[in-house]
Amino acid sequence: MKKKIDVSVSTDPIKSIQEIIDYARFMQDKADMLHCDIMDGKFVEKQNFDQDLVKNINDSSLIMLDVHLMVDEPKDLIKDYIEAGANIITVHYEAFKDNRDIINSLNLIKSKGCLCGLSFKPKTQVCEIKNFLFNVDVVLVMSVEPGASGQKLQTDVYKKIAQLNEFRLENKLNFKIEVDGGVNEQNCKLLSEFGADILVSGSFVYNSNDKLGAIKKLKCQK
């Protein structure tokens, strides 16, 4: 049976709220979800949108909202994004000073009916986040440094995906492995083979003249 790959199209290359809303409406019957990058100018240098963007998208479209919080101490913001209509909320391992806050944040997200995700930067190793993998629905592997679109995928991501997949199988866990950064038609098949379930695509889909065709390529569909 052929493996199912979900595609989460990213808002990162888009500069205005209205264009993002239009993109969400266009994508709601084409992509599996919309990847909403939220940056505070502290955790990463770039600063963009907040929970109002997520609420506006949720009020204007039917697409599943995959919210990626690239912010410092996200525990203080989680409730805002739940109320805004997020379906998945992913926080960064590196954004917390206390590991207990990571567990509490993941549990809070789940208690409100959202899927909870944990992300980690390229310099962070899988062994550093293993203790949290029993609590997550999604692990978001950053294959580029967060904060800028159009970067090239770092190839050590394949090893990390394989390690996560092995850990998942050994412990009979059901979390999804999501990959963000530099995903395109040249590497999507290999990412899937190593164990990825969700591929985030910003520039590859957004810049394509045939966006539905680009999504099908990422799903390895003809």
To the query of whether residue 66 is one of the catalytic residues in this protein, the response is no
The two tokens of residue 106 are 């993941």
Handedness of CA 130, 89, 151, 215 (dihedral sign): positive
Helix orientation angle between 51-60 and 17-27, rounded to the nearest 10 degrees: 40
Whether 205 contacts 211, CB under 8 Å: yes
> In whole angstroms, how far apart are CA 120 and each of 16, 28, 63?
27, 27, 25
Among the listed residues 6, 37, 66, 137, the single catalytic one is 37
Q: How many beta carbons lie within 10 A of that of residue 55, not counting itself?
A: 17
103 class by beta-carbon count within 10 Å (0-12 exposed, 13-18 middle, 19+ buried):
middle
Out of 32, 66, 180, 197, pick the active-site residue.
180
Nearest Cα to Cα of residue 94 among 138, 146, 152: 146
180 has catalytic annotation:
yes
Active-site residue set:
37, 180
